[in-house]
Amino acid sequence: EEPPQPTPGDPYAEDPPRHPALKINTLKPFNAEPPSELLTENYLTPSQLFFKRNHLPVPVVDPATYRLHVRDARGRTLSLSLRDLKRNFPKHKVTATVQCAGNRRAEMNAIQNTNRLGWGIGAISTACWGGARLRDVLVHAGYKPSDEGHVSFEGLDKEPNGTVYGASIPFKKAMDPEGDVLLAYEMNGEELPRDHGFPLRVVVPGIVGARNVKWLAQISVGPEESKSHWQQKDYKGFSPAVTWDTVDFSKAPAIQELPVQSAITEPCPNASITPGELTVKGYAWSGGGQSIVRVDVSLDGGKSWHVAKLAGEEQAPGRAWAWKLWQLEAIVPPGTKELNIVCKAVDSNYNQQPDKVGPIWNILGVLNNAWHQVSVSVGED
Amino acid sequence: EEPPQPTPGDPYAEDPPRHPALKINTLKPFNAEPPSELLTENYLTPSQLFFKRNHLPVPVVDPATYRLHVRDARGRTLSLSLRDLKRNFPKHKVTATVQCAGNRRAEMNAIQNTNRLGWGIGAISTACWGGARLRDVLVHAGYKPSDEGHVSFEGLDKEPNGTVYGASIPFKKAMDPEGDVLLAYEMNGEELPRDHGFPLRVVVPGIVGARNVKWLAQISVGPEESKSHWQQKDYKGFSPAVTWDTVDFSKAPAIQELPVQSAITEPCPNASITPGELTVKGYAWSGGGQSIVRVDVSLDGGKSWHVAKLAGEEQAPGRAWAWKLWQLEAIVPPGTKELNIVCKAVDSNYNQQPDKVGPIWNILGVLNNAWHQVSVSVGED
Ligand SMILES: [Mo]
Ligand SMILES: [Mo]
């Protein structure tokens, strides 16, 4: 099979090749997720299968001439090469899950279409990230832990009009010795792939994907959040009562830490199973370093519950950045016609997931963490 | 009316007088909450109306001879008088909401009785607390911020067999300069009332009431949580699937930070209202210093929503220890027969409340933060 020929002048012509198993949401920009059943095959998502969420074309970067620009505390601009970042700052590794705010938007679109990317349950993945601590770089740039405000990031990815991707995080998170924010040049023990920000990206454990800026060009610190579209006019949560006619973006905080989440990766929706042993699998995660303490699974739509077995890296309290995979071994009695499988997770603050999607639906289609439901039919043995 | 005569030998004979408006749950020990409509009359709950949750008789303490015992980092016991605490440590004031883990248990009992205190929505109140920072006292006792483990508290309240009330919090919370944990001797600008721990109690903002030990006798630091019944065999969250036959207390973490919560204080359940203007009022709060960013209110059982107006003290991000009161002005159209009023809050992590009580029901009847619902009938104008 011939690869598609690039259109002349196509800004996406230089995008990298991708794994054929990915379920593509949009090709340009490239937005794709792994199929559910591959998502929980590995605790660390293979980088090729890790969900891709690009807002713009993937920039072509020469690592030899690449420079990170950091506005320092005295208003000067530091210019750091990749070599500087690797040599002058200790390398730190963090296993962290990244989730797009739009994960599971398809379930919201099914209620009322938001006309935005219809992510399934796969806009979430986990990797071991390696890089310099943002904190160390900020200290090198003359900032003090007692400083305040926000740390803004700009990417090398550009709109045709020159607008670059941007986002910010609170200075306190950036500077927290236990916040584990990285300027990552490594993903799962290898050089960062182009789709994930080569040669350098921000990894902000516990915080929505949108702040984990890829192809990092510039860092600055100031009293206000990033002025970018993506910080100011997107990635915020609204009431189901808010419409495009009534929305006031200044009224909702930019999403940072994400709420407790879980989903069923096996069996697949509408699968046909047989009576007898059934394995139900999924993932569970919570933002802000909260750990997952329990996952409840129901086979009857939420009437009765079972406690799933959790697996995954043990991380320190308040620094549980990575998901837990879970599994339930159940017996499906003969004569069963269908199962309505439901999961819900509980985190270390004992926050739980809301039951239904409708009451948390919002115009941006973000933050869907309602119970995940999968119906399957049961055939003859 | 004559006050009831104390029974000879009654360990509760020395309990203080209480406000007559309180709704009593149990008299001995005294457990009582303010009526809903009084709960949100004031942002700071008047101390007399503040919910009372006593596990044991109220101890009689002479403030002149009272001593707080602190095991120091070298294993010695420091003995601090009230005067020492007031003179040797800076006084710090914090407005913080305290909520019992059993708040709203009545709604759980209605589904399946837990045979535990049937709290309504009033086992939550807010005060301005004044006292020494626990952190300052721990530093005085030789502890360092880098130390680890748990800080255990014992009260002066005793069971007949001599067992004293006890609980613990993580050392990290106790030592956090922004954790605002107090050894409080003041409540709403006055001496701590006897029911609230006179002469000294712990106030742990953002953390379940049970760790806010009253009538504080002793503080110690160690690698493990408090061995007390209340830390080990109570105040933990379980799946609805767990029964008294299958419960394993070692499997669930002790409740510390509480999940997002809200309730409707006006109108009252089963009230009869008239068409026209209706004011709906309530409170919303989240543990762990998370602020309340929104309260959604429905008048039709959750089909459509309105955004309520929030009021309350502005507190720093991550230190939003106090509740928000909320209000919705609505118009009830003529011809309406009944309203099913529902509220749900969203906190700064965008965590939301679960929809229904059943799926979060648990044998201890704790952590009920499902949507609160109040049905009222609408009469003729
Ligand atoms: Mo995202
Ligand atoms: Mo409590």
A92 neighbors A108 (Cβ within 8 angstroms): no
Distance of residue A290 Cα from the nearest chain B Cα, in angstroms: 11
Which of the four pLDDT bands, split at 50, 70 and 90, describes residue B144?
very high
Give the position of tokens 């008789």: B57
Average pLDDT on A84-97 reads 98
> When comparing pLDDT for A200 and A2, which is higher?
A200
For residue B242, the chain A residues in CB contact (below 8 A) are 307
Query: Do the chains contact at B350 and A241, CB–CB below 8 Å?
Result: no
Least confident of A29-33, B8-12, B68-72, B374-378: B8-12
Q: Which ligand is nearest to the CA of B25?
A: 2
- Under the banding of pLDDT at 50, 70 and 90, the label for residue B1 is very low
Ligand positioned closest to the Cα atom of B235: 2
Say whether B258 and A350 touch across the interface (CB within 8 A).
Answer: yes
**Residues forming a β-bridge with A184:** A131, A201
State percent of chain A over pLDDT 70.
98
The whole-number pLDDT of residue A1 equals: 46
CA–CA distance, A262 with A259 (Å, rounded to integer): 10
Mapping DSSP onto H, E and C, the string for chain A reads: CCCCCCCCCCCCCCCCCCCCCCEEEECCCCEEECCHHHHCCCCCCCCCCCCEECCCCCCCCCCCCCEEEEECCCCCEEEEEHHHHHHHCCEEEEEEEEECCCCCHHHHHHHCCCCCCCCCCCCEEEEEEEEEEHHHHHHHCCCCCCCCCEEEEEEEEECCCCCEEEEEEEHHHHHCCCCCCEEEEEECCEECCHHHCCCCEEECCCECHHHCCCCEEEEEEECCCCCCHHHHCCCECCCCCCCCCCCCHHHCCECCECCCEEEEEECCCCCEECCEEEEEEEEEECCCCCCEEEEEEECECCCCCEECEEECCCCCCCCCCCCEEEEEEEEECCCCCEEEEEEEEEECCCCECCCCCHHHCCCCCCCCCCCEEEEEEECCC
Spatial separation of the C-alpha atoms in residues B176 and B178, rounded to whole Å: 5
Confidence of residue B380 (pLDDT cuts 50, 70, 90): confident
The phi and psi torsions of A175 (rounded to 5 degrees) equal: -95, -15
Mean pLDDT for the stretch of residues B232-240 = 98
- Find chain A residues with C-beta within 8 A of B306's C-beta: 241
Q: What is the pLDDT of residue A292?
A: 98
What pLDDT is stored for residue A381 in this prediction?
64
| Residue A355: pLDDT over 80 | yes
Contact between B327 and B309 under an 8 Å Cβ cutoff? The reply is yes
Tens of pLDDT, residues B108-142: 999 999 999 999 999 999 999 999 999 999 999 99
Output phi, psi for B360, to 5 deg. -115, 5
Per the structure block, which two tokens stand in for B216? 């504080």
CB contact under 8 A, B356 and A355: yes
Question: Which residue reads 């493990």 in tokens?
Answer: B224
Q: Which of B239, B305, B354 sits opposite A241 (nearest CB)?
A: B305
With a CB cutoff of 8 Å and minimum separation 6, the contacts of A85 are A68, A131, A132, A137, A183, A185, A200
| Chain A residues bordering chain B (beta-carbon distance below 8 Å) | 170, 172, 237, 239-242, 252-253, 255-260, 287-288, 293-294, 296, 302, 304-307, 317-318, 344, 346, 348-356, 359-360, 367, 369
Closest Cα of chain B to A201: distance in Å?
23
Q: How far is CA A102 from the centre of its chain?
A: 9
Size of interface A-B (CB pairs under 8 A): 108
- The tokens for B334 are 């003529």
Residue B317 near residue A257, CB atoms below 8 Å: no
What is the average pLDDT score of chain B?
Answer: 96
pLDDT tens for B312-350 read 999 999 999 999 999 999 999 999 999 999 999 999 999
* Residues A218 and A153 sit within 8 Å (Cβ to Cβ): yes
In the predicted model, what is the mean pLDDT of chain A?
96
Q: How far is the CA of B115 from the centre of ligand 2 (A)?
A: 15
Contacts of A56 (CB under 8 A, 6+ apart): A29, A155, A157, A158, A159, A165
* Cα–Cα distance measured from residue A42 to residue A126, given in angstroms and rounded to the nearest whole number: 9
Cβ pair B322, B124 in contact under 8 A? no
> Could you read off the pLDDT of A37-48 as tens digits, one per residue?
999 999 999 999
Terminal CA-to-CA distance of chain B, rounded, Å?
41
Whole-number pLDDT of residue A160 = 85
The residue whose two tokens read 């408090």 is B226
Which pLDDT score is estimated for B336?
94
Buried b (16+ CB within 10 A) or exposed e, B179-200: bbbbbbbbbbeeebbbbbbbbb
Express each pLDDT in A271-313 by its tens digit. 999 999 999 999 999 999 999 999 999 999 999 999 999 999 9
φ and ψ of B181, to 5 deg? -75, 130
Instruction: Give the residue among B104, B126, B130 at the shortest CA–CA distance from B116.
Output: B104
Residues of B whose CB is below 8 A from A258: 349-350
* pLDDT in the model for residue B197: 98
Are B252 and A293 a contacting pair at CB < 8 A? yes
3-class secondary structure, B117? coil
- Give residue-wise pLDDT tens across range B262-316: 999 999 999 999 999 999 999 999 999 999 999 999 999 999 999 999 999 999 9
Among B349, B351, B355, whose Cβ lies nearest the Cβ of A359? B355
pLDDT tens per residue, range A52-73: 999 999 999 999 999 999 999 9
Contact (CB<8Å) B260/A351: yes
Confidence of residue B6 (pLDDT cuts 50, 70, 90): low
Taking residue A3's Cβ as centre, other Cβ atoms within 10 Å add up to 6
For strands A190-191 and A276-285, give the pairing. unpaired
- Across the interface, whether the CB atoms of B349 and A288 are under 8 A apart is answered yes
Per-residue pLDDT at B2: 54
B289 or A160, higher pLDDT? B289
Cα B348 from Cα B351, distance rounded (Å): 7
Separation in Å, CA A202 to CA A181, A195, A333, B9: 7, 13, 49, 67
Q: How confident is the model at residue A6 (pLDDT cuts 50, 70, 90)?
A: low
Q: Do A257 and B349 touch (CB under 8 A)?
A: yes
> What is the pLDDT confidence band of residue A328, given thresholds at 50, 70 and 90?
very high
Q: Which residues of A touch B350 (CB under 8 A)?
A: 237, 255, 257-259, 367
Q: How would you classify residue A239: left for phi > 0, otherwise alpha for psi between -120 and 50, otherwise beta?
A: beta
Residue type (1 letter), B64: A
Mutate to test the interface with A, among B235, B262, B350 (most CBs of A within 10 A): B350
pLDDT digits (tens, 9 = 90+) for B13-34: 999 999 999 999 999 999 999 9
Asked if A136 contacts A87 with a C-beta cutoff of 8 angstroms, the reply is no
Closest ligand to C-alpha of residue B207 is 2
Phi-psi sector, B115: left (phi>0), alpha (psi -120 to 50), beta:
left
Give me ligand 2 centre to Cα B180, in Å: 20
pLDDT digits (tens, 9 = 90+) for B36-61: 999 999 999 999 999 999 999 999 99
Instruction: Let me know: does B335 contact B275? Beta carbons within 8 Å.
Output: yes
Nearest by CB to residue A237, choosing from B172, B302, B346, is B346
- Mean pLDDT lowest among A377-381, B45-49, B95-99, B142-146: A377-381
Using CA coordinates, name the residue in chain A closest to B256. A349
Is A332 exposed, middle or buried, given 0-12, 13-18 or 19+ CB atoms closer than 10 A? middle
Nearest by CB to residue A354, choosing from B241, B304, B355, is B355
> pLDDT confidence of A24, banded at 50, 70, 90?
very high
Write out chain B residues lying below 8 Å of A294, CB-based. 237, 239, 252
Contact B294 A172 (CB under 8 A): no
Segment A178-185 shows an average pLDDT of: 98
Work out the pLDDT band at B166, boundaries 50, 70, 90: very high
Q: Is B107 helix (H, G, I), strand (E, B) or coil?
A: helix
